[in-house]
Chains A and B, each alone.
Chain A
Amino acid sequence: MSLLSTTSLVKQFGGLTAVDEVSFEVDRGETRAVIGPNGAGKSTLINCITGMLEPTRGTVEFDGEDITGVEPHDAVQRGLSKSFQTASIFPEMSVEENVEIAALAAEHGSFQLNFLRKRESFDEVHRISERMLDAVELLDQRDHEAASLPYGDKRRLEIAIALASEPEMLFMDEPTAGMSPGETHATVELIEELQDDLELTILIVEHDMEVIFRIADRILVLNRGRVIADATPEEVQGDPEVQEAYLGGVEL
């Protein structure tokens, strides 16, 4: 049974159709990659699913529920979490606080009237924060100000924030963009580990083909907002339409 499915999802900006009748399914436990040339609508697709943008038409179903057009915080509470393309962190807070706030949201829901309760008393929140920081190997830096971390660590912190929301499904928007080969390698290993440890379903947008062919179970290929392929990495590699889209018909 699929965890996430979209049906004829459309997003238009004025006259431009950024996402055009996209229907696809992601199975539980799968790692699904979304690729496509620049401007293919990959980020727009993710934004329509995670609530940042409201789709013009079509539906999004998650875990059997219709979540079309819900607000981001609602989507997160239902188990969809997103890690951003740029390290979207809280720069002037400590590394630990960055993760703690996501753990708080996971434990206590989207809103509570607990403004006179001491944060220190939430043991479960601290436990989750430590576990996630441990998972991304930032536990030793937990008292550092987030802004002082090197870029690769910021991206890892960003992933830890997304994980501390205790998602069932994680959306990763170009997690290795701007990283050195070493950092990329470490990130890929991290993603593979997380997949095993936390039984996550992952949807990843990525440009680095090496990364994709290593971790993806299936690949969704978009071009100009349309799905042109939805298959295993091997099948996608030999698909003439994909080669056409990427290289204008030159053999890969």
Chain B
Amino acid sequence: MSDDTEPDGGPVVDEATERVDGSTDDLLERILARDDLVVVGFVLSLFVFPYLLVNLLTQIGEAIGFSIGGYVGLPTLVLIFGIVVIGFNLLLGYTGLLSFGHAAFFGVSAYAAGIFTAEATAFLPTAVAHSPLAMVGVGTFAALVIAWPIGFVSIRRSGVYFAVLTLTFGQMLYYYALGPGAWLTNGDNGFSDVNVGHLLGTFELEEAILGADFLRAYTWQYVFVAVAAVFALWMANRIINSPYGLIFKALGQNEQRVSFVGLDVFRYKHMAFIISAGFAGAGGALFAIHETYIHPTTSLYWITSGDFVIMTILGGTGSLVGPVLGALIFEYVSNVISGVSLPVIGAIGSLWRFVLGAVFVVIVWVFPKGVYGGVRDVVVALTGRGDDDGGEEA
């Protein structure tokens, strides 16, 4: 086969034709494995997502007597955390590095974006200083800048030590924001001076794009965050299909071998860390836009870092959109289920973490590969098409 391939693009064509030939019996599996189609599917689902989460669930909730519908801002919030965990998954799901400090990048970016809107008017036109796009740019940049040294130090250790080092850096920033840095962050009172201007100078983020009441969840803010989420997913897809994707996966499986094929393990792990911090930063700045208020506990605290880990594992590590499903389940339980009132037990309220824990245990037990991996396996099983490994045994 290698003899008759053309040097210019031959192998690629060969591979493509072979895929088509060999895929008739497991077409579905191939489709599910195609990352480009996953991106397209993600884009399409974003059009109906707010309607399903807010309108439809509210109607169902009214019919059965429980308030299970999402509120207007929830689809946006889910996507904000979705962006964070898409990046976090590059680190945890591919490279196999468990960071317990990604709240640092999320929070630093949120504060940087917020402080930028408050202070930049001194030297920039208000339209720029309050521009949501500029906020995301400034926040992401701040996250990348701080990720460089934190990664540089933490990557030198692996496993538990890496997790604890990242946790420590995150907590250092948390306590700084809470106490000594109060001149900058307003400490425990929270930073409320976040001035979010119009998107591209035109669109008021809080307004619904169509004005129609039943589509009120489709705000300009949702559009903005949805576009950002698509961009984030597209970036992640590009990264996974670049040499980095292969190298990240390889690092997670056999780090020693990676250095013995001639690749600089430290620099690639460092890049994985910085790239994932960039996604956390983008999410953090969007969070500042969404909340227009930043507190150390909602942004920099280690529990936020832990939430990223839970979302990623819940949704499915090592799959492109899986973690976004994790973010959806997490935010749904935390924001909607917490408001549900049950007979006998009463309001779930702050018991939501208990519910989430139960959901987490069940999902990890039933679907070790997370919701996305589990649904995929179920679909494949129901259609009677074994995947590559199973096919051999059958």
Seen from chain A, the residues whose Cβ lies within 8 Å of a Cβ on chain B are 50, 71-73, 76-77, 81-82, 84, 88-93, 97, 100-102, 104-106, 108-120, 122-123, 126-127, 130-131, 134, 139, 143-145, 148, 161, 164-165
Contacts and interface: CB of A to CB of B under 8 A. Distances in A.
B122 interface: no
Given A97-B246, A105-B262, A111-B263, A92 B11 contact: no
Contacts of A148: 389, 392
A114 B243 contact: yes
A145 B389 CA distance: 8
Given A81-B262, A101-B261, A161-B257, 6 more contacts: A73-B265, A88-B254, A88-B257, A115-B275, A118-B238, A161-B261
Given A115-B271, A126-B11, A110 B243 contact: no
Contacts of A84: 257, 260
Contacts of A109: 262
Contacts of B250: 90, 93, 101
A161 B253 CA distance: 15
B12 to A, nearest CB: 5
A119 B249 contact: no
Contact of B260 (A72, A130, A134, A139): A72
Nearest to A125: B243
A116 B239 contact: yes
A130 B2 contact: yes
Interface in B349-388: 388
Given A110-B264, A126-B12, A131-B2, A101 B244 contact: no
B254 A90 contact: yes
Given A73-B265, A91-B253, A100 B2 contact: no
Given A88-B254, A111-B268, A130-B5, A119 B246 contact: yes
B368 to A, nearest CB: 14
Contacts of B264: 71, 73, 110-111
Given A118-B241, A126-B11, A145-B389, A90 B260 contact: no
B247 interface: yes
A101 B258 contact: yes
Contacts of B267: 110-111
A82 B260 contact: yes
Contacts of B256: 88
Contacts of A108: 243
Interface in B179-231: none
B346 interface: no
B24 interface: no
Contacts of B392: 148
Considering residues B11, B239, B243, B275, which has the most beta carbons from chain A within 10 angstroms of its beta carbon?
B243
18 contacts: A71-B259, A73-B261, A76-B262, A88-B254, A89-B254, A90-B257, A93-B250, A93-B253, A97-B246, A100-B246, A113-B271, A114-B242, A116-B239, A117-B243, A123-B10, A130-B5, A130-B11, A145-B388
B343 interface: no
A88 B260 CA distance: 10
Given A73-B264, A126-B12, A131-B2, A89 B242 contact: no
Given A111-B264, A161-B261, A139 B243 contact: no
Contact of B262 (A131, A143, A165): A165
Given A126-B11, A139-B1, A139-B2, A119 B241 contact: yes
Among all A-B residue pairs, the 10 with the closest Cβ atoms: A76-B262, A105-B262, A126-B11, A102-B261, A115-B244, A110-B264, A130-B2, A111-B264, A72-B259, A90-B253
Contacts of B11: 123, 126-127, 130
Contacts of B238: 115-116, 118
Interface in B264-299: 264-265, 267-268, 271, 275
B393 to A, nearest CB: 11
